[in-house]
């Protein structure tokens, strides 16, 4: 089927207003939140129902055309980067909250629903949806499912995968299946668990059953300033050792604070080398008691100033500063690169030192923002793309930081996913057999290799192949993937 | 091979440096009214900036590209939500100017825009319409046409104009000078506006009274013309500059401390005069100095602090933030403060308050369909507050939301914040505000 | 009959089976007991070459699950893969070999004041068995199930390939989440050789509030009230000793620091007091209740059934099931999550009519539960009963996809063939 025929097919399914084929318009979709990689899709389709998604995917299947799914396009690993000559299926028009079932603590939503919208919809009844990535006001649930998104509060409450109990999925051949549901322990393989975090490579989720939580009785938040990240890290260790599980522990260093202050005016204490935001939530009696202890532990670790949020507004301000930090860094540097790596929490001081060392060696600055509670780092490598060679050095530094994470037993990604950006590092974290076995899953879902190809795995596996001499995969031959 | 004509020429194209501030994070998407309506990247701030960028790279400005720029409401909600500080307002302004100069519009489009810009910035011409329109309304011709179904047959844009018509009352003119009550604390100029002075003269009267009550001598030069807001926001650069020079000169001559504006769109435009006239060496400094003295009514009142007593008005009101006041000027606290100072007045927030009502200057005339959908959305949110009165600070919003409420078959009185303050200061009966169409 | 697998010495690694080595009454030929991942890989590779069907057994407590396997040539016991490999207390992470008993894991991390938040009832269960069977207990209400606690896994596939997924850090989205795929897979995708979990601090104090329940509606109202409140219970358990007789007991467990526990217990008692007779237990009662928490409904049951419904459907499900045959059963439920376990002493496996009647009743129950989006599986039954009643019930529309997954991981159907859903 040629492009025009495919466009006609799509138009028959979604109507002309749902198909984009003009070049300038297509170009607005050529990247997601990671603007470093751009590929113009051949066609963009915007379905509005599960049935339309099914028909679109079936058409792609018949035509032998690869496709990529996209939600709000805010991902930071290039997961929604289109495939050249491929179709981009945009789910932003499927944004209905289909059902709210508070007695079972479930909500059923379409993939284009924005993360924060779920919480807003159930707030009046005293519920909320826990996974809260910093981009929650714009990122979509479908995107969250693809990336297994976390957020600041995942230390206590877990990630998207712990809050999805059911999925309706369109498989890459156009078949529609139902995985899991509202009831616990569905018999069979945990395909919901396998699908969440699969970065859009196994199919397109068209309905998602989410778990809702009751809003806690009490929330207390403090912001503690320290001389440096070492002291702040020590405070975190003491808190964990005391058996306290805060809802969130976030750390920002001096450079990150500078950026956030420019954007949000939080009034960080002057001269602070690092700041910790610690939030506790739960039953009031428990929170009061533990909060006092956290304050004490911060002081013991040498905190210079402790601000306690007096009300919801102040609490929101603390968080706004933290959540805007990435984009706010644009104010103190012409360009920057957000890295995402994980290390065991106990390795934090050492790795931060290493990052500072590496940055110094390359003459670049790194602002650090991270989820101190679970060791998920977000070093922001600052550079000026207009200065010769700086962009390359910045990329190198970002890679070095990842290697440092791996050296300490961590992971190349805590939240943002592997996508396109990090598939080259997969062989550094996993062995060849590990990657091949993971791809068995992909072969079961997508034997033709057309669903978001070229993502996550550097070397695609030919499905159905037996051990023996390697054959070149068509995707590789087409230049969409490389062997590292 | 035909050469591709790049989208922009060298006279103030959208600034690459400003475009580079965009990090593609997408935080602007959920606050953009057109993204809310259509869910398409091209009709979002991020997408529009992207189109500007590829235009700078040399892509052609074709109909599709222009349509996305045209469909931007210019509400600046994205400016408020952007964590990177992208100055989208400057970008869209520069882009619209380029579009006006370089893109050939359809004959119908051109004719319609010509009509608008020959009419709305000219109070004297608007005034000529008052009589016939009043007759039209009093004889209920419109209602008859609507009932018979003929009104629906008119082109959407004309129908849009018809629906937005406010009820035309008796004519009023602002006095040239309104003396301050008691001690004179300031001598302020007042913009009487175009639509405001012709169709809502009672709002201007109330504004002058409120300012006077709080100690301002109010100078409303009779010679003043249009401030150029509609032209500026539509990308008609030369026209806007001419109006700007005129306004600056008029108010300089009046010798006032500040210039007070009671229409959000106008205040926003006047605060941009410095930027608008930056290329003109004779006017650049004057314009910047002038812009620094422009105040929205609520801003000035907050700065001064009230002197006249606010008498009780036991009314539940919904406050609507006009985009050009909240997003473009960053004025949100002051109108709320002003209302909060009225004893007995309960101010209710409107859900999705940061989303534009769809008025957006002439948007509800040039793009009636999305404007209508946004108006409907706003009307639903306003009615959901259960308020007895809708209060806002912009004539465009007022007309747009009222029309949308009426479309739903509902009734809700609407008032300008000046009228509410005026009623409070005069100790008027709430009925004076509530018993209106 | 072979005494070992080709290429492997007969001895500790592989030896002939004895009479005790059966699965659902099917005797095995050989038994293997690898002591390392590398040995396990060699065993499975050899079994694959020899075309032997393999069933993995830990402590044997989950062998009742699923349908009888088509064949059992080799039983792979994980008894010697029993080490606690690593406990990073500062990171709240523990890594163990699959043959380690859950109790031993808990003992290893207890000195640091931590625990793995899993409390399934089967004593002596191995970690591998718990993962493979997705076993859970009452505290799943608060902490989730195995899939919510496992962060890394090492598996050995049927052909001996060793693969790792996840890692040692809680936050990790690199690659596919194979850990979850293997949770509940009942050994049909491969051997779970090692697993890494996130730990929680062990709560310092506990309180128990009980409510006497006389009718399912009362149960529903009580659970609803608790779940809608801001209480954070660790468990909400229902036991009904006299099957559908005069009363059952709802037990709400609150755990945490003492001040919080006391305040919540009082609040819970007040809340539940609106629904019926509620009380906060004293220290002795609390201890007894906690030690009994989540116990299987009947020690002597020959047939075990697990029903799972959305929790708000539980009262309705109880009413659906309260027909004659269930009157012979004893019942325990995780009322907050919607999981109900029933222990029955019938039907008589030697009486074909009884067995057939039982099959009919199960079919009817499954249909009724399906209307509540629920499922019914057999957790334990004599082979004769299993031949008449499919352990899993009608699979959903994803069964073909599951078969494809199986075909990828175990193309020769070597691992526990026929035990799983859809004949997998």
Domains of chain B (ranges; CATH) run: 16-102 (1.10.1060.10), 107-164 (no CATH), 177-302 (3.40.50), 309-434 (3.40.50.11810)
Same domain, A222 and A317: yes
Q: What angle do CA C343, C346, C352 make, to 5 degrees?
A: 145
B85 vs A contacts (CB less than 8 Å) = 262-263, 330-331
Closest CA to B358 of B93, B72, B73, B81: B73
Residue A108 lies in a domain: yes
Cα atoms in the 13 Å half-sphere on the side-chain side of B294: 29
C264 vs A contacts (CB less than 8 Å) = 283, 285-286
pLDDT digits (tens, 9 = 90+) for A323-364: 888 778 878 888 888 899 999 988 988 999 999 999 999 999
Same domain, A68 and A109: no
Question: Rounded to two decimals, what is the model's pTM?
Answer: 0.94
Is the preceding omega at residue B306 within 30 degrees of 0, hence cis?
no
User: What pLDDT does residue B367 have?
Assistant: 93
Rg over alpha carbons for chain C, rounded to the nearest Å, is: 22
Which ranges of B11-119 does DSSP label H, i.e. alpha helix?
A: 16-20, 33-38, 45-57, 63-70, 77-81, 88-102, 107-119
User: What pLDDT does residue A475 have?
Assistant: 56
Q: How confident is the prediction for chain C on average, in pLDDT?
A: 92
Q: Where are the beta strands (DSSP E) in A283-326?
A: 305-308
C224 vs A contacts (CB less than 8 Å) = 103
The rounded distance, in Å, linking the Cα atoms of C421 and B338 is 68
User: What pLDDT does residue A478 have?
Assistant: 56
Going by pLDDT thresholds of 50, 70 and 90, the confidence category of residue A271 is confident
Query: Could A35 and B59 be called an inter-chain contact, meaning their C-beta atoms sit closer than 8 Å?
Result: no
- Confirm or reject contact between A213 and chain C (CB < 8 A): no
Query: Could B54 and A324 be called an inter-chain contact, meaning their C-beta atoms sit closer than 8 Å?
Result: no
Query: Could A327 and B27 be called an inter-chain contact, meaning their C-beta atoms sit closer than 8 Å?
Result: yes
User: What pLDDT does residue A468 have?
Assistant: 37
A93 vs B contacts (CB less than 8 Å) = 38-39
Cα atoms in the 13 Å half-sphere on the side-chain side of C325: 22
Same domain, A172 and A233: no
Nearest beta carbon to residue B25 from set A23, A27, A33: A33
Q: Where are the beta strands (DSSP E) in B85-243?
A: 177-178, 186-190, 216-219
- Confirm or reject contact between A406 and chain C (CB < 8 A): no
A197 vs C contacts (CB less than 8 Å) = 173, 176-177
Residue ranges covered by each domain of chain C: 14-79, 84-201, 205-291, 303-388
Question: Residue A356 is encoded by which pair of tokens?
Answer: 């500072």
The rounded distance, in Å, linking the Cα atoms of B319 and B22 is 32
How many other C-beta atoms can be found within 10 angstroms of the C-beta atom of residue C414?
A: 23
Please, which residues bridge with residue B392 across strands?
B416
pLDDT digits (tens, 9 = 90+) for A206-223: 999 999 999 999 999 999
The rounded distance, in Å, linking the Cα atoms of B328 and B78 is 10
Q: How confident is the prediction for chain B on average, in pLDDT?
A: 92
Q: What angle do CA B265, B268, B274 make, to 5 degrees?
A: 140
Residue A396 lies in a domain: no
CA distance C301 to chain A (A): 22
The rounded distance, in Å, linking the Cα atoms of A87 and A80 is 11
Examine the pLDDT at C186 and tell me if it is beyond 50: yes
Q: What angle do CA B270, B262, B94 make, to 5 degrees?
A: 30
Q: How confident is the prediction for chain A on average, in pLDDT?
A: 92
How many other C-beta atoms can be found within 10 angstroms of the C-beta atom of residue A393?
A: 17
CA distances from A337 to A250, B83, B437, C44 (A): 20, 16, 56, 46
Identify whether the C-beta of residue A417 lies closer than 8 Å to the C-beta of residue A147.
yes
Examine the pLDDT at B426 and tell me if it is beyond 80: yes
* Residue finishing a domain among A309, A331, A353: A331
Residue A240 lies in a domain: yes
Examine the pLDDT at C424 and tell me if it is beyond 60: yes
CATH 3.30.70.2740 fits C303-388, yes or no: yes
Rounded to the nearest 10 degrees, the angle between the axes of helix B201-213 and helix B417-426 is: 50
Going by pLDDT thresholds of 50, 70 and 90, the confidence category of residue C343 is confident
Examine the pLDDT at C346 and tell me if it is beyond 80: no
Q: What angle do CA C268, C274, C280 make, to 5 degrees?
A: 35
Nearby residues of C270 by Cβ (< 8 Å), 6 or more positions away: none
Chains that touch B (3 or more CB pairs under 8 A): A
Nearest chain A alpha carbon to C203: A243
Identify whether the C-beta of residue C75 lies closer than 8 Å to the C-beta of residue C58.
no
Lookup result for tokens 């038994």:
C31
Query: Could A441 and C162 be called an inter-chain contact, meaning their C-beta atoms sit closer than 8 Å?
Result: no
Pairing between β-strand C74-77 and β-strand C54-57 as defined by DSSP bridges: parallel
- Confirm or reject contact between A31 and chain B (CB < 8 A): yes
User: What pLDDT does residue A471 have?
Assistant: 43
- Confirm or reject contact between B85 and chain A (CB < 8 A): yes
Name the DSSP class of C10.
B
For chain C, helix, strand, coil in percent to 5 are 35, 25, 40
User: What pLDDT does residue A483 have?
Assistant: 44
> Coil, helix or strand for C94?
strand
- Confirm or reject contact between B26 and chain A (CB < 8 A): yes
Examine the pLDDT at A482 and tell me if it is beyond 60: no
Lookup result for tokens 């060496």:
B281
Same domain, A208 and A254: no
User: What pLDDT does residue A327 have?
Assistant: 74
ipTM of the complex: 0.95
The rounded distance, in Å, linking the Cα atoms of B53 and B40 is 18
Q: Which of residues 49-108 of A touch B (CB under 8 A)?
A: 72-74, 90, 92-93, 95
Q: What is the DSSP string of A89-157?
A: EE-TT---EEEEEGGGTEEEE-TTSBHHHHHHHHHTTTEE-----TTTTT-BHHHHHHHT---TTHHHH
Examine the pLDDT at B134 and tell me if it is beyond 90: no
CA distances from A389 to A35, A362, A384, A424 (A): 19, 11, 9, 21
The rounded distance, in Å, linking the Cα atoms of C274 and A404 is 58
pLDDT digits (tens, 9 = 90+) for C124-147: 999 999 999 999 999 999 999 999
Identify whether the C-beta of residue C108 lies closer than 8 Å to the C-beta of residue C114.
no
Identify whether the C-beta of residue C21 lies closer than 8 Å to the C-beta of residue C63.
no
Nearby residues of C166 by Cβ (< 8 Å), 6 or more positions away: C150, C151, C152, C153, C172, C177, C178, C179, C196
Closest CA to A313 of B311, C4, B333, B413: B333
Identify whether the C-beta of residue B294 lies closer than 8 Å to the C-beta of residue B248.
no
Q: What is the CATH number of the domain that holds A257?
A: 3.30.70.2190
CA distance C146 to chain A (A): 11
Q: Which of residues 41-80 of C touch A (CB under 8 A)?
A: none
Nearest beta carbon to residue B29 from set A72, A330, A336: A72
Examine the pLDDT at C241 and tell me if it is beyond 90: no
Question: Residue A264 is encoded by which pair of tokens?
Answer: 């949000």
Question: Residue C157 is encoded by which pair of tokens?
Answer: 């596939």
The rounded distance, in Å, linking the Cα atoms of C347 and C354 is 6
CA distance A340 to chain B (A): 16
- Confirm or reject contact between A428 and chain C (CB < 8 A): no
Query: Could A286 and C399 be called an inter-chain contact, meaning their C-beta atoms sit closer than 8 Å?
Result: no
Closest CA to B406 of B434, B435, B376: B376
pLDDT digits (tens, 9 = 90+) for A370-419: 899 889 999 999 999 889 999 999 999 999 999 999 999 999 999 999 99
Query: Could B25 and A327 be called an inter-chain contact, meaning their C-beta atoms sit closer than 8 Å?
Result: yes
- Confirm or reject contact between B4 and chain A (CB < 8 A): no
Residue A414 lies in a domain: no
pLDDT digits (tens, 9 = 90+) for A82-110: 999 999 999 999 999 999 999 999 999 99
Rounded to the nearest 10 degrees, the angle between the axes of helix C314-321 and helix C352-370 is: 150
Average pLDDT score over residue span B190-214: 94
- Lowest-pLDDT range, B272-276, B432-436, C113-117? B432-436
Going by pLDDT thresholds of 50, 70 and 90, the confidence category of residue B162 is confident
Going by pLDDT thresholds of 50, 70 and 90, the confidence category of residue A467 is very low
Average pLDDT score over residue span B286-300: 97
CA distance A91 to chain B (A): 9
Same domain, A85 and A102: no
Q: How many domains does chain A have?
A: 4
Pairing between β-strand B258-261 and β-strand A335-338 as defined by DSSP bridges: unpaired
User: What pLDDT does residue B435 have?
Assistant: 85
CATH number of C205-291: 3.30.70.3450
Residue A392 lies in a domain: no
Domains C205-291 and C303-388 share a fold: yes
Interface size, chain A vs chain B, as Cβ–Cβ contacts under 8 Å: 89
More confident: B144 or A32: A32
User: What pLDDT does residue C386 have?
Assistant: 93
User: What pLDDT does residue B5 have?
Assistant: 85
Nearest chain A alpha carbon to C405: A444
The fold for domain C84-201 equals 3.30.465
Going by pLDDT thresholds of 50, 70 and 90, the confidence category of residue A477 is low
- Confirm or reject contact between B25 and chain A (CB < 8 A): yes
C339 vs A contacts (CB less than 8 Å) = 184-185
* Residue finishing a domain among A286, A306, A331: A331
pLDDT digits (tens, 9 = 90+) for C264-309: 999 999 999 999 999 999 999 999 999 999 988 877 788 999 999 9
Identify whether the C-beta of residue A309 lies closer than 8 Å to the C-beta of residue A221.
yes
In terms of residue numbers, what domain contains A298? 216-331
- Confirm or reject contact between B136 and chain A (CB < 8 A): no
Closest CA to B320 of B416, B237, B227, B248: B416
Q: Which helix (H) or strand (E) element contains residue C238?
A: strand C235-240
Examine the pLDDT at A481 and tell me if it is beyond 80: no
Residue A28 lies in a domain: yes
Closest CA to C35 of C82, C74, C103, C75: C82
* Residue finishing a domain among A72, A90, A108: A90
A336 vs B contacts (CB less than 8 Å) = 23
User: What pLDDT does residue B28 have?
Assistant: 96
Query: Could C311 and A375 be called an inter-chain contact, meaning their C-beta atoms sit closer than 8 Å?
Result: no
């Amino acid at each position: 089927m040629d492009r025009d025929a495919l466009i006609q097919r799509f138009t028959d399914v979604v109507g002309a207003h749902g198909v984009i084929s003009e070049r300038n318009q297509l170009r607005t979709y050529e990247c997601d939140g990671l603007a470093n990689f751009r590929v113009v899709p051949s066609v963009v389709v915007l379905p509005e129902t599960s049935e339309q998604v099914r028909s679109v995917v079936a058409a792609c299947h018949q035509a032998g055309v690869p496709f990529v799914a996209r939600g709000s396009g805010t991902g930071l690993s290039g997961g929604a980067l289109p495939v050249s000559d491929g179709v981009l299926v945009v789910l932003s028009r499927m944004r209905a909250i289909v059902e709210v079932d508070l007695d079972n603590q479930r909500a059923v939503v379409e993939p284009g629903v924005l993360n924060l919208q779920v919480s807003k919809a159930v707030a009046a009844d005293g519920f909320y949806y826990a996974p809260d990535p910093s981009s929650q006001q714009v990122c979509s649930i479908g995107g969250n499912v693809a990336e297994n998104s976390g957020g600041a509060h995942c230390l206590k409450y877990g990630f998207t995968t712990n809050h999805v109990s059911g999925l309706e999925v369109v498989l890459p051949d156009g078949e529609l299946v139902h995985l899991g549901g509202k009831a616990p322990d569905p018999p069979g393989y945990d395909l919901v668990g396998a699908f969440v975090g699969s970065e859009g490579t196994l199919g397109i989720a068209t309905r998602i059953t989410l778990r809702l939580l009751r809003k806690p009785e009490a929330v207390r938040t403090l912001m503690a300033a320290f001389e440096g990240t070492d002291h702040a890290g020590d405070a975190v260790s003491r808190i964990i050792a005391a058996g306290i599980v805060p809802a969130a522990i976030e750390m920002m260093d001096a450079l990150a604070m500078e950026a956030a202050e420019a954007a949000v005016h939080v009034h960080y204490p002057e001269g602070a080398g690092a700041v910790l935001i610690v939030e506790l939530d739960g039953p009031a009696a428990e929170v009061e008691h533990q909060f006092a202890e956290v304050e004490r532990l911060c002081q013991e670790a040498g905190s210079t100033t402790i601000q306690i949020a007096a009300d919801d507004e102040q609490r929101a301000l603390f968080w706004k500063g933290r959540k805007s930090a990435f984009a706010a860094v644009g104010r103190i540097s012409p360009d920057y690169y957000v890295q995402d790596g994980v290390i065991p929490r106990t390795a934090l001081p050492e790795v931060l030192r290493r990052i500072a060392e590496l940055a110094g060696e390359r003459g670049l600055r790194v602002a650090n923002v991270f989820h101190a509670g679970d060791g998920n780092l977000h070093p922001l490598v600052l550079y000026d793309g207009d200065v010769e060679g700086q962009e390359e050095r910045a990329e190198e530094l970002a890679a070095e930081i990842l290697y440092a994470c791996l050296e300490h037993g961590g992971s190349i990604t805590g939240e943002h996913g592997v996508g396109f950006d990090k598939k080259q590092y997969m062989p550094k974290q996993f062995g060849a057999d590990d990657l091949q076995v993971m791809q068995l899953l992909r072969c079961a879902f997508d034997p033709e290799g057309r669903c978001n190809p070229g993502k996550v795995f550097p070397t695609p596996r030919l499905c159905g192949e037996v051990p023996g001499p390697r054959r070149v995969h068509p995707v590789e031959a087409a230049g969409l993937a490389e062997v590292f | 091979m035909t050469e591709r004509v790049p989208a922009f020429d060298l006279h103030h194209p959208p600034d690459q440096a400003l475009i580079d501030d965009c990090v593609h994070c997408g935080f602007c998407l959920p606050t953009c009214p057109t993204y809310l309506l259509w869910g398409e990247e091209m009709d979002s701030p991020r997408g529009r900036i992207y189109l500007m960028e590829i235009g700078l790279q040399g892509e052609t400005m074709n109909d599709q590209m222009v349509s996305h720029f045209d469909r931007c409401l210019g509400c600046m909600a994205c400016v408020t939500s952007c964590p990177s500080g992208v100055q989208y307002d400057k970008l869209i302004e520069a882009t619209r100017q380029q579009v006006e100069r370089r893109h050939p519009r359809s004959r119908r489009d051109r004719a319609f825009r010509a009509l608008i810009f020959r009419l709305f910035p000219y109070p004297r011409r608007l005034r000529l319409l008052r009589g016939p329109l009043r007759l039209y309304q009093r004889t209920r011709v419109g209602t008859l046409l609507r009932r018979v179904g003929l009104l629906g047959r008119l082109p959407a844009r004309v129908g849009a104009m018809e629906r937005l018509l406010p009820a035309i009352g008796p004519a009023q003119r602002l006095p040239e000078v309104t003396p301050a009550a008691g001690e004179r604390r300031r001598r302020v100029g007042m913009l009487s506006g175009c639509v405001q002075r012709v169709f809502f003269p009672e709002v201007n009267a109330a504004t002058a009274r409120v300012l006077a009550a709080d100690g301002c001598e109010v100078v409303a030069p009779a010679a003043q013309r249009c401030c150029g807001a509609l032209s500026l926001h539509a990308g008609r650069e030369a026209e806007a500059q001419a109006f700007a020079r005129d306004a600056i000169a008029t108010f300089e001559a009046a010798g006032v401390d500040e210039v007070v504006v009671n229409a959000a769109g106008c205040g926003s435009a006047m605060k941009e005069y410095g930027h608008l006239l930056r290329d003109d060496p004779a006017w650049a400094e004057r314009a910047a100095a002038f812009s620094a003295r422009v105040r929205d009514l609520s801003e000035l009142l907050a700065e001064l602090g009230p002197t006249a007593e606010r008498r009780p008005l036991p009314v539940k009101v919904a406050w609507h933030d006009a985009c050009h006041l909240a997003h473009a000027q960053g004025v949100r606290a002051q109108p709320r403060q002003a209302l909060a100072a009225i004893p007995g007045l309960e101010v209710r927030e409107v859900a999705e308050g940061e989303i534009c009502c769809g008025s957006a200057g002439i948007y509800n005339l040039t793009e009636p369909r999305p404007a209508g959908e946004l108006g409907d959305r706003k009307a639903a949110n306003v009615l959901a507050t259960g308020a007895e009165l809708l209060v806002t600070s912009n004539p465009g919003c007022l007309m747009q939301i009222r029309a949308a409420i009426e479309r739903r078959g509902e009734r809700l009185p609407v008032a300008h914040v000046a009228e509410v303050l005026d009623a409070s200061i005069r100790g008027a009966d709430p009925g004076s505000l509530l018993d209106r169409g | 009959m072979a005494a070992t697998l080709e290429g492997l010495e007969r001895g500790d690694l592989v030896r002939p089976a004895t009479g005790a080595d059966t699965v659902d009454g099917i005797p095995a030929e050989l038994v293997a007991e690898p002591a390392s991942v590398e040995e396990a890989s060699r065993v499975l590779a050899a079994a694959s070459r020899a075309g032997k069907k393999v069933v993995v057994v830990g402590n044997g407590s989950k062998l009742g699950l699923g349908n009888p396997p088509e064949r059992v040539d080799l039983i792979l016991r994980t008894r010697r893969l029993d080490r606690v490999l690593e406990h990073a207390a500062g990171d709240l992470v523990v890594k163990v070999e699959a043959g380690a008993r859950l109790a031993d894991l808990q003992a290893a991390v207890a000195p640091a004041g931590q625990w793995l938040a899993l409390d399934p009832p089967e004593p002596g269960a191995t970690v591998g068995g718990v993962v493979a069977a997705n076993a859970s207990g009452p505290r799943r209400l608060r902490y989730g199930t195995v899939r919510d606690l496992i962060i890394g896994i090492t598996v050995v596939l049927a052909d001996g390939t060793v693969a790792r997924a996840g890692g040692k850090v809680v936050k990790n989205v690199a690659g596919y989440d194979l850990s979850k795929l293997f949770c509940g897979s009942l050994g049909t995708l491969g051997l779970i050789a090692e697993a890494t979990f996130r730990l929680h601090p062990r709560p310092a104090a506990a309180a128990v509030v009980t409510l006497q329940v006389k009718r399912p509606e009362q149960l529903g109202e009580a659970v609803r009230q608790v779940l809608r409140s801001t209480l954070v219970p660790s468990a909400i358990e229902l036991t009904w000793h006299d099957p559908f007789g005069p009363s059952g007991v709802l037990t709400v467990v609150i755990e945490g620091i003492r001040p919080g526990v006391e305040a919540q217990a009082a609040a819970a008692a007040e809340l539940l007091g609106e629904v019926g007779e509620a009380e906060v237990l004293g220290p002795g009662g609390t201890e007894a209740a906690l030690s009994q928490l989540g116990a299987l409904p009947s020690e002597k049951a020959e047939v075990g059934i697990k029903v799972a419904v959305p929790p708000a459907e539980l009262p309705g499900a109880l009413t659906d099931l309260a027909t004659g045959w269930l009157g012979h059963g004893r019942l325990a439920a995780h009322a907050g999550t919607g999981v109900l376990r029933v222990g029955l002493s019938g039907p008589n496996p030697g009486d074909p009519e009884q067995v057939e009647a039982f099959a009919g009743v199960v079919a009817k129950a499954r249909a009724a539960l399906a209307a509540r989006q629920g499922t019914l599986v057999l957790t334990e039954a004599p082979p004769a009963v299993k031949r008449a009643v499919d352990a899993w019930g009608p699979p959903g529309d994803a069964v073909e996809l599951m078969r494809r997954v199986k075909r990828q991981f175990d193309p020769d159907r070597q691992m526990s063939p026929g035990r799983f859903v859809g004949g997998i």
